[in-house]
Every structure is written in structure tokens, then in C-alpha cells.
Amino acid sequence: EKEAVFAKKFEILKALIKNSRSTVVLTGAGISTLSGIPDFRSSSGVYATTWKSYQVEEILSISFFKHNPEIFYAWAKEYWYKLDDYKPNTVHTALALLEQKGYLEGLFTQNIDMLHKKAGSRKCYEVHGSAEHHHCTNCNAYYSYHWVAPIVLTGQVPRCTECGSVIKPDIVFYGENLDGFTLSRAYEMFNHAHLCLVLGSSLVVQPAASFPAYTVHRGAPLVIVNAQKTSFDGSATLRFTDLQQFSEALEKYLVALEPRKLLV
Ligand code: OAD
């Protein structure tokens, strides 16, 4: 985006952040492209091509996983079990800084890649779960990412040491429900927010795609940062297109910003 236009809009954003008493953020796969992880719906996203004749959306459905865990893990081996190779980028660090400076109420992410937590975000709600945790599909025994990943990387399906059943990542597959606690926190926070920022999401997958509506319907400002257009663009107070440019400016602004003094 042209520097002069960007700078003008960014001045408005600064005032919105500083004056908002409750800012909520929703992130999507677009933000992790800056770390090298492909998103889903860009032209270079994982849904743009098939994987060994399977549609990736099909691989990510719960009924497919139940019948074909070996195909899921063969796909995930090349994608979700190399997450240790990826580092948080400026979007993740800027959002962690927003929290540290006292300007963030809650960070909701659709990403399962653990990068917000690696960057230091604590008020982080992973609405589609996380690759950090796994459970046995039969006896519910717990397994961590670091226990499971080496097995997947050797091409095997991880199995429970207690009962031998298939282990599943705590990721929300298509056909599964979101965690009720996280969902009710989301509705509460987006409903009370004075400012909502959406970064790197196409806003098509429900229910996360509706979270910004809870802020917008009360007339509070919505800021969207996304290359492709979204169905919420018409409701946005500000719209930026380049995540790199946006997050670098945000980080620079936040470094210099006085931490918010909390009323006690
Ligand atoms: P999408 O892949 O649908 O959207 C990512 C958006 O980020 C796209 O609209 C891109 O244009 C934008 N984008 C990518 N790189 C960018 C950049 N450098 N600057 C600006 N914009 C950029 O990802 P999500 O909305 O997160 O669910 O997808 C939602 C859900 O669909 C995912 O959580 C996943 C998927 O199915 C599950 O797996 C359960």
C-alpha cells in the first residue's frame, strides 16, 4: 500500500487503539504466511491444490479422520508436524506487545500453529484448538505435540501406549464442535469490545467468521487487515491490505507507547 495513504489511515488506528477500553483481535492463517506456513484460501494456500488426489478440506473432516487416520497423518506430516521449524513473525510479536502494554482484552485465533503463545501472548484463545495437545480417541489419555511429532515424522500413525487406539490432535476438524467455554468467551468479549481488529482471515468459516459482527452491530469500530476482500469490508472503519507493513508500523507504535495504567 502507498506509504502516504497508509500513514494517514495508521494515524486513525493509533487513536482507536489508545482510546479503546476493550480491544479484541481475531487472527487467521494469513498471519502465519509471514512465518512460512501456507494459509488455506490464497492462490498458494493449501486448498488451492489437491494432495495425492484428496481435497485437503476432506482430509480435515472428522469422519474422514476416523476412517483414514493414516492419510490425515501422511498429509499432516508435511505440514502440521514441522511446526517447530517455524518462528513467530512481526504480527505475532506486535500482538504480544499490545497485550504487554495493557491494550488487549483478548486474542482469538483460528490458527493451530502455537505461534501466538510462542510469541508471548497469554490472553490467547485458540478457537480451532491447537497442535500442542493430543488425546487417545478411545481412553482419552493425553499426549503432547513433542511426543507425537517424531512418530508422525517417521510416517507412522501415533497410537496410545495404554490401549493401542489412534491418537488425535486437539484440533477442531470439520464436523466437530468448538469448545463451548472458548465460544462463550468469544461472544462475551466481541459483544463488549470497543474495538475489533481482524488480521489475516478470509472470514468465511463459521462461527469465528461471525465474531466481528458482535462488535460491529453495536456501532464499535472494526479494522480489517487482509489482502483479499472479506464480506465484512463494508462494515470496516479502516481497511489495510498488507500484514507486514501493518504489523511493522504497529510494533513501532507500541514500543513507544506508554503502558496503560490500570485502575485499581
Ligand atoms: P484463509 O486461508 O481462509 O484466509 C487467509 C487470508 O489471509 C486470505 O484472505 C489472504 O488473502 C490473507 N493473507 C495471506 N497472507 C497475507 C499477507 N501477507 N497480507 C495480507 N493478507 C494476507 O484462513 P482462515 O480465515 O484462517 O480451519 O481460515 C479459517 C479456517 O479455515 C482455518 O482455521 C481452517 C480452515 O479450514 C480448520 O482447519 C478447522
So where are the chain's domains?
1-37+91-128+180-264, 45-85+131-171
Residue 138 alpha carbon to ligand 1 centre in Å = 32
Q: Structurally, what CATH architecture does the domain formed by 1-37+91-128+180-264 represent?
A: 3-Layer(aba) Sandwich (3.40)
How does pLDDT run across 101-154, given as a tens digit for each residue? 999 999 999 999 999 999 999 999 999 999 999 999 999 999 999 999 999 999
Separation CA 126–CA 113 (nearest Å): 10
What's residue 264's pLDDT?
60
Q: What angle do CA 250, 256, 260 make, to 5 degrees?
A: 90
pLDDT higher for 199 or 49? Answer: 199
Please tell me the predicted confidence (pLDDT) of residue 169.
98
CATH superfamily of 45-85+131-171: SIR2/SIRT2 'Small Domain' (3.30.1600.10)
Contact 167, 136 (CB under 8 A): yes
Pocket test for ligand 1, best of 90, 201, 206, 229 (most atoms within 8 A of CB): 201
What distance in angstroms lies between residue 48's CA and the mean position of ligand 1's atoms? 12
* Three-state DSSP state, 138: coil
In the annotation, is 128 catalytic? yes
d(CA 215, CA 222): 7
Give the global pTM. Answer: 0.97
φ/ψ of residue 34, rounded to 5: -70, -15
Residue 240 has which C-alpha cell? 489495510
- Does the Cβ of 228 fall within 6 Å of ligand 1? yes
**Which protein residue has the closest C-alpha to ligand 1 atom 26?**
28
**Is the Cβ atom of 245 under 6 angstroms away from ligand 1?**
no
Ligand 1 atom nearest residue 112's Cα: 33
Burial class (CB in 10 A: 0-12, 13-18, 19+), 78: exposed
The interface predicted TM-score of the complex, written ipTM, equals 0.98
Task: Give tens-digit pLDDT for 155-196.
Answer: 999 999 999 999 999 999 999 999 999 999 999 999 999 999
